Amino acid sequence: MPHPAHDDDLVMSLVEMALALPPGDREAYLRSACGGSDELFTQVWAYVDSEQRMKGFLLDPIFPRVLFEHPFQPGDLLEGRFRIVREVAQGGMGIVYEAMDEKLERRIALKCAKIGFHKRLPPEVRNASEIGHPNVCKIHEIHTASSERGVVDFLTMEFLDGVTLAERLVAGPLPPGEARTIALQLCAGLAEAHRKRVIHGDLKSNNIILTTADDGTIRAVITDFGLARSQEALQRSMQSGGPGGTPEYMAPELWNGGRASIASDIYALGVILFELATGRRPGAPVGDTKQWLGWKPPAVDRKWDRILQRCLDPDPARRFGDANAVAEALAPPRKRLWFLAAAAAAVLAAATGIVTYQRTTAPQEVVRLAVLPFESRGAPDPLHETMLRDAANRVGQLKGNSHTKLEVISFNDVLRKHADSVEKAGAMLGATYVLHGTIAREKDQLRIQAYLTDTRSRADAKEWEATYGAGEERYLPVALASMVTATFHLPPVGAVAVNAAAREDYLSGLAYLRRDSAVPAALSSFERAVRSDPDSPLAYAGLAEAQWFKYFQTKQRSWLARSDKSAREAQRRNLDLAQVHRVAGLHLANVGFYEQAAAEYRRAIELEPGDAENYRRLGQVYEYDNRKGEALIAFQTAISHQPDYYRAHVELGSYHYNRGDYTEAVEPCKKAVDLAPDEPNVHFALGATYLNLGMFDQAERQLRLAVGLDESPNALHSLGLTLMYQKRDREAIEYFSRGLRRNPENYLSWMYLGIAYRRTKRTAESVAANRHGQELAESEMARNPRDGYVRSIRGYFAAALGDRGRAESETAQALILAPGDAETRWMAILTYEALAEREASLAVLSRSSRPQLMDITRWPDVADLSQDFRFLQLLATLNLK
């Protein structure tokens, strides 16, 4: 027992008590409280006395401590409609309120960002509001309110009365039956979200609410879909490159700078399933360290173990491909006998490589499929039943394969038992999947919506809609059957060739498609093929592809629209042909749906494993999605399949180029020049590479060759750029202008033209060029908000036109969206230099390669940066390595 005067607890309690009293009462209180111990009194009084004299000296930290502010108070009325009732919860970034929607007189939850976090909601939330599933919290609306804090977005959502799974788990592990029920519901909700192209990004037991469904059963609801990204963005911009998310639910690839994906959501789901099974977390490594090597989750109950091992595999490629697959593995035990087939599937996968990795260890699945009568909208039509019967017959003829055993329930059985709903088909016929939908005749047209639904989770494995014109109904049976083959990776259905009349044109069209310069020839060949065989999905798919390339080369939206239309024509005839998937992949990737695009290409590879083009495109999508390792493998696979295909080499060159590894890029580009010397693109690629290596003479030679073969806007642009490096700005202006005459929408040319004008003191023209480019970049950004590069250019324009705030924010976001992209970094550096933010430039440079640093030293506008001693230090460090 210490002496009272040395007892910190006692002394400080007395000090605190005394200071809480009016100054005049303090001494008397202490004399009495110290109970006659002079030493104690002396000590305590000395503290109280000095505190009085110091008048709060040093109590305020040098920077004011920011106290948490509550954005809203109970009783507040937002937008004249939402009355705040109480604060329900606070998360990492947001606050949830219970509120009343006084207009609709319903109880809602209202969520807004905490002060200090992003005030604006990320675009993903808009997609999230489209998810309608009982196991996903329904977002009603996104509102924007003006408040004294500026513009604040808030969400109104379904109000869920319950506890979070995390809270529930504190009370101990769940009974096995309940755990399984919750697990299946979470899988179903997540699968539906992924199908709607929404990644959760921060799945954890805190984001799961357990509530009671109307029928009294348990209902697990996933909340906060799409919200994680804004938080992630913030954290990353604050920490220059650290991961976002909640550490113990974060997949290893996120620690290494990867972006949230379906696979990382599956990992987080695995952590939650682990909690459901055991009541605790698997104890995975936290951090981007070597600890992940060989890490495996601890073994758990046999029923869960294999599933958890696969969800939690550090290698994203070895996890379940989607949440439905997890649900299937969790489904009643009789299903899991098919695990025995996994070994056979693995052997097959080894033989076919990249194609089947998703399904490597998946059990052979039994699909018991029922085709239901489609619900007729409008007048009943006997033709519909005939059509459906044809479709059911088509589906009935489909064959399974080594990973899927297909059993189709006869259409007559379906009709006889009146199994006219997903529920009934599951219960009465034992169907695991149901093909159903609606059909409506509107004048001459037949409008169809079809769904392939899992009867256990109620999730739609595939959804498709189309409108058939007069006389086109005959395509419907094959189209519906192809929906099934595509979903279950079955062998294709229907004719896989064009008719004899179209054959020659079709084949030459395919050959032309393989050369960039032959796109016009491909277009006319496929147009003829379509005329000769208008029933063929292949001819239309080829045409769609040629039109897409035309769009790609000219950037004229009208070609994109035409391509889209042709692609739909193809899909109406058959969804599941390699050619059709390839086109779908282009369209999906073009709007940022990379995961879905990759799935299209993977299916194309399954169907046509020998075609290098499939691998090349798959690699491109991986590259857009920052999955660099996978991209490289795909490009190398493309080359190994068809070593003479110049585009595969150009692509490999571009891959290195995009990383800033210009030296590495030279060889593949040279190889492409050897293979296709008449293709302007190969000279362009090699020229651009030389340009970045500072080899201006060689660059100019290659680019002039490219311009000579085809005066393409890109080649003219790069030639202009080469001249600008050499301070030949007047000549450069002429090439940019020529390029812009051919393609006025090239914002990049507007940008450099703006710089060239500025350097030649033509200020007004410079501003005009920047304004014009800014508008174009803005609309391009709206098309694909995930494109970091375009965003970085948008940031540059903002800086050039004096909008510092916008410049900083776009650039920060761009660096997050395209963390490995050298061009984006280059743009960020130009922007930061324009803003005189040297620190930020240097931070970007510290993540750049040596060639890129060298490139900086050559660009006339940033001479100041390349003279900075810190820049020189960076360069020196890189030289040492």
Partner 1 sequence: MGDITELLHKWREGNREAENELFAMVLPNLQRLAHYLMKGERPGHSLQATELVDQVYFRLVAAKDRDWENRGHFFAIAGRAMRRHLIDHARGRPDAVLVSLDGIQNLLPANGSKLDLAITVDRLLDRLAGTKPEWCTLVELKYFLGLTDEETAEALGIKLRTMQRMWLDVRKWLFEQAEPYDAASGA
Interface positions with partner 1 (CB under 8 A): 8-9, 11-13, 15, 47, 50-51, 53-54, 57-66, 69, 115-116, 149, 235, 238-240, 242-243, 247, 283, 285-287, 289, 291, 838-839, 843
Nearer to partner 1, 723 or 812 (CB): 812
CB of 297 to partner 1, least distance (A): 14
How many other CB atoms are there within 10 angstroms of residue 14's CB atom? 23
Shortest Å, Cβ 285 to partner 1: 6
* Minimum distance of partner 1 from residue 55's CB (angstroms): 9
Question: CB of 164: closest distance to partner 1 in angstroms?
Answer: 22
Sign of CA dihedral 614, 616, 622, 624: negative
Comparison of 247 and 629: residue with beta carbon closer to partner 1: 247
Using the minimum distance from each CB to partner 1, give the nearer residue, 222 or 816.
Answer: 816
Least Å distance between CB 16 and partner 1?
8
What minimum distance in Å lies between the beta carbon of 68 and partner 1?
9
Residue closer to partner 1, measured from CB, 13 or 386: 13
Shortest spacing between CB 155 and partner 1, in angstroms: 20
CB of 316 to partner 1, least distance (A): 21
Tokens of 350: 């080894």
Q: To the nearest whole angstrom, how small is the minimum distance from the Cβ of residue 451 to partner 1? A: 43
Task: Kindly tell me the number of DSSP H helices and DSSP E strands found in the chain.
Answer: 39, 15
Q: Which is nearer to partner 1, 110 or 234 (CB)?
A: 234
Q: State in angstroms the smallest separation of the CB of 154 from partner 1.
A: 17
The residue (of 95 and 367) whose beta carbon lies closer to partner 1 is 95
* C-beta closer to partner 1: residue 74 or 287: 287
The count of residues in the chain is: 881
Tokens of 43: 């000590």
* Least distance between partner 1 and beta carbon 39 (Å): 15
Q: What are phi and psi of 159, to 5 degrees?
A: -85, 125
Helix (H) / strand (E) containing 450: strand 445-454
State which residue, 238 or 880, has the beta carbon closest to partner 1.
238
Beta carbon nearer to partner 1, 242 or 469? 242
Looking up tokens 């595509």 gives 486
Q: Shortest Cβ distance from residue 157 to partner 1 (Å)?
A: 25
Distances (CA, A) of 367 to 198, 335, 407, 842: 26, 11, 6, 57
Comparison of 577 and 834: residue with beta carbon closer to partner 1? 834
Handedness of CA 823, 827, 830, 832 (dihedral sign): negative
Contacts made by residues 112-117, CB under 8 angstroms, sequence distance 24+:
112/71, 112/72, 112/152, 112/153, 112/154, 112/155, 113/152, 113/153, 113/230, 114/68, 114/71, 114/90, 115/68, 115/69, 115/71, 115/149, 116/66, 117/93, 117/230, 117/231, 117/234
CB of residue 826 vs partner 1: minimum separation in angstroms? 21
CA-based nearest residue to 530, from 579, 570, 572, 490: 570
Instruction: Give 715 or 799: the residue with its C-beta nearer to partner 1.
Output: 799
DSSP string, 627-686: -HHHHHHHHHHHHHH-TT-HHHHHHHHHHHHHHT-HHHHHHHHHHHHHH-TT-HHHHHHH
SS3 state of residue 307: helix
Shorter beta-carbon distance to partner 1: residue 59 or 170: 59
Are residues 273 and 183 in contact, defined by beta-carbon separation less than 8 angstroms? Answer: yes
CA 721 to each of CA 406, 656, 696, 748, 759: distance values in angstroms, whole numbers, following the listed order: 58, 20, 10, 10, 13
Separation between Cα atoms, residue 420 and residue 569, nearest integer Å:
30
Min CB(56)–partner 1 separation in Å: 10
Q: How far is the CB of 142 from partner 1 (least distance, A)?
A: 21
**Run of H or E residues at 558:** helix 557-573
Angle at 383 between CA 377 and CA 388, to 5 degrees: 80
Which residue, 482 or 813, has its beta carbon nearer to partner 1?
813
Structure tokens at 654: 């571009």
Of 52 and 386, CB closest to partner 1 = 52
Alpha helices in 474-534 (DSSP H): 476-488, 500-513, 519-532
**Backbone phi, psi, residue 339, to 5°:** -60, -30
Identify the H or E element spanning 145. strand 139-147
Asked if residue 358 lies in contact with residue 602, where contact means CB atoms within 8 angstroms, the answer is yes
Calpha distance 476→390 (Å, rounded): 9
Of the pair 69, 105, the CB lying nearest partner 1 is at: 69
Of 17 and 85, nearer to partner 1 (C-beta) is: 17
The SS3 of residue 515 is: coil
Cα 605 to Cα 139, 393, 585, 617, 627, distances in angstroms: 37, 27, 12, 10, 18
What's the closest the beta carbon of residue 62 comes to partner 1, in angstroms?
Answer: 5
Helices 869-880, 838-845: inter-axial angle, 10-degree rounding: 10
Torsion of CA 680, 663, 717, 623, to 10 degrees: 80
